[in-house]
């Protein structure tokens, strides 16, 4: 038991006496560090999710723009091709 507390205190960077105050202080410090890491990870993952969503939204806008331009160009080409053929037959 003492070895486990000594290992925990040395890991946290302190030479604590093994009384009730120091043990509760150690666990309080551990919980605070754990809570801080959890909040930081939550914030990071949330910001990553939002930036990924923005990237996907912009990518879809660009793809939609190029697809619509290609479709419009294809319609114009077919229109002029058939329009020239029809006007050549009618004259």
Q: Give me the residue spans of the domains in the chain.
A: 2-90
Radius of gyration of the chain (CA): 34
Are 25 and 16 in contact, with CB atoms under 8 Å apart? yes
Max CA-CA distance within the chain?
Answer: 107
Q: What is the pLDDT along the chain (91 residues), one digit of tens a residue?
A: 455 555 555 555 555 555 555 666 667 777 778 888 888 878 777 777 777 777 788 888 999 999 999 999 999 998 888 777 666 565 5
Q: What tokens does 69 get?
A: 């331009």
Helices (runs of H) and strands (runs of E) counted in the chain: 2, 0
* pTM across the whole model: 0.41
**How far is 91 from 77, CA to CA, in rounded Å?**
21
Asked if 26 and 16 touch (Cβ cutoff 8 Å), the reply is yes
């Amino acid at each position: 038991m003492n070895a486990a507390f000594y290992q925990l205190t040395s890991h946290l960077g302190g030479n604590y006496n093994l009384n009730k105050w120091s043990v509760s202080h150690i666990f309080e410090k551990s919980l605070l560090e754990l809570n801080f890491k959890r909040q930081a990870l939550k914030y990071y993952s949330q910001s990553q999710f939002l930036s990924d969503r923005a990237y996907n939204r912009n990518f879809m806008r660009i793809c939609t723009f190029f697809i619509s331009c290609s479709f419009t160009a294809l319609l114009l080409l077919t229109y002029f091709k058939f329009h020239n053929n029809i006007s050549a037959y009618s004259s």
